[in-house]
Amino acid sequence: MVSHSTHLRNGIEQVKSICPHLKHFVEISGKCNLKPQEPSINSYFESLVRSVIAQQISAVAAGTITQRVKKLTNNKITPRVISNRTEKELRSVGLSASKIKTIQGLANAHLSKEINLADLTDATNDEAVKMLSSQWGIGRWTAEMFLMFTLGRLDIWPVGDLAVRRGWQIAHGLKDMPNEKQMEPLGNPFAPYRSIAAWYCWRVLEPEEPW
């Protein structure tokens, strides 16, 4: 079986060979670091909570709120702990009402066995997106970020991510930023390593910034 690190190396070389526009950013940026986290319900849940926190706010603000949530939970962002926190407590650390509804809904769905986060380990990409998107406030973007950065899946093409599309536009010197429909087929040549191409589109905007 080919190791994940070998797939990463192969994917990086494929991006460089297929796309001269991204090759420059591959060479000036750090090595793509997408890899699976250790599978566990609690690590999966914390990763999803982080993604929900990050929705529609800056990275700095998301980091601040995440640290507050960690302090509130004594560094245990688990379904049980989040479920037991009151809305007032969660609001006090900067979470909006909608994000509280989302993360507590996800926690309760797992605790009630409506879903089982452990199933995500072996789920296909489509199965994982379907399972996560069934929960209120979790859409395709959040599911795809989970697939890339928690499960380490290397063939995700997150066309709904504004920064990926903006990075593609800049790298290719395009006058207009492609929309989601236009962006979709542009990832096909990079399969089965579309996540790596997307990762370097982010690096166009932040070449020195590790994800």
Q: Which residues are catalytic?
A: 161
Task: Name the amino acid, one letter, at 190.
Answer: F
Q: Which of 197, 206, 202 is nearest to 15 (CA)?
A: 197
Fill in the DSSP letter of residue 57: S
Q: Is the dihedral of CA 174, 179, 180, 185 positive or negative?
A: negative
- Other beta carbons within 10 angstroms of residue 139's beta carbon come to 13
H helices of the chain, in order, are: 4-18, 20-28, 41-54, 59-72, 79-84, 87-92, 97-111, 125-133, 140-149, 162-172, 180-183, 194-205
Using alpha carbons, list the distances in angstroms from residue 147 to 58, 96, 118, 157, 173. 21, 25, 14, 11, 29
How far is it, in rounded angstroms, from Cα 71 to Cα 118? 25
